[in-house]
Amino acid sequence: MASFSENLKLFSDQQSHVLSGLMDLTYRPRRLRRTASLRSMVRENNLSPNDFIYPLFVHEGNQVESIAAMPGANRWPLDRLVGEVERAWNLGIRSIVLFPKVSEALKTEDAAECFNEKGLIPRAIQLLKQEMPEMTIMTDVALDPYSSDGHDGIVSPDGIVLNDETIESLCRQAVVQAHSGADLIGPSDMMDGRVGAIRESLDDEGFEHVGIISYTAKYSSAYYGPFREALDSAPRGNSNKPIPKTKNTYQMDPANAREAIIEAQLDEQEGADILMVKPGLAYLDIIHCLRQESQLPIAAYNVSGEFAMVKAAAERGWIDERSVVLETLLSFKRAGADLILTYHACDAAKWLRSSG
């Protein structure tokens, strides 16, 4: 057995060997991290404003309204909307998505306002296409902003969210949006078969050129709270019938991953052009999974709850907002997303420009 002094000498020799830089290493990954130019040269993923879809809330009022749960996000009146979209365009953003804050007086159990040709969203699309025809406009197809029950579908007298009956309204909504000038129709309702039905309706009306960006894997998530405050679109009580308190019977179970593959396969077969995962940050594995399963473009929705958490922590000085946002958005690209819907779009575009 070696003595203490012999072991000490052996350790000392090993340390001297290490400190002299003579470790026998073939692979040294740090070689390619040594300088900024080297890191840039081998970077696997990059962010660009072209990756972003900027969500915008619109309303019928005359003022820009701040949203308490989403600092920095606003509800835009139509006469101010063009200016905000121009700002996004000048920052390099080439796509937006519109969400309506609908007057309570227009909300009904059948959500018929959703396919009103003179409604808020059709007028917003027409205005933007007149003023900024090159901007890609995506819409939201679902009943919850227009429903007095606050659900994405029609609720039966016994409290069941009806699938097939809802799809008829969704198809009418999609056609109205396409007629108004929408480039991408975004069904977010999670009704079975709605992508195929919408594709057929659009084609029948001569809108073969209008694409479908499907909310393929939309989970029944707790991250949507600030969004529902922005639109006042959460499920609500009704004295005439029982209203489900959650959307668990149609939005996906957060415990499930394989089910997302089934949804993606169905949407692809039915004619979707782009597949979306919502939320994004807590579902990076789902983004990666769909990337492996499909050759279609994949979108990630960096949702309101994710946005609000970053804003709240940044306001308290607990995190550096710019660094966290850019790292988060990059994580979507690394997981396999081609497109990112994010309320940080304009800020991120500015930060990317300044760092370039």
Share of the chain above pLDDT 90, in %: 87
Global confidence as pTM: 0.91
Q: Provide the residue ranges of all domains of the chain, joining segments of one domain with +.
A: 49-355
The answer on pLDDT for 14 being more than 60 is no
pLDDT digits (tens, 9 = 90+) for 109-143: 999 999 999 999 999 999 999 999 999 999 999 99
278 is catalytic: yes
Q: What does the pLDDT read at residue 237?
A: 73
The answer on pLDDT for 82 being more than 80 is yes
Calpha distance 88→96 (Å, rounded): 9
The answer on pLDDT for 11 being more than 60 is no
Q: Which is the catalytic residue, given 218, 247, 311, 333?
A: 218
The answer on pLDDT for 285 being more than 70 is yes
φ/ψ of 69, rounded to 5, equals: -80, -5
Q: What's the whole-number average pLDDT of the chain?
A: 93
Calpha distance 115→78 (Å, rounded): 19
pLDDT digits (tens, 9 = 90+) for 226-273: 888 888 888 887 767 899 999 999 999 999 999 999 999 999 999 999
Closest residue by Cα to residue 76 from 350, 311, 343: 343
Three-class DSSP category at 117: coil
Compute the average pLDDT of residues 150-176.
Answer: 96
Domain spanning 49-355: CATH superfamily: Aldolase class I (3.20.20.70)
Q: Which is the catalytic residue, given 101, 107, 247, 278?
A: 278
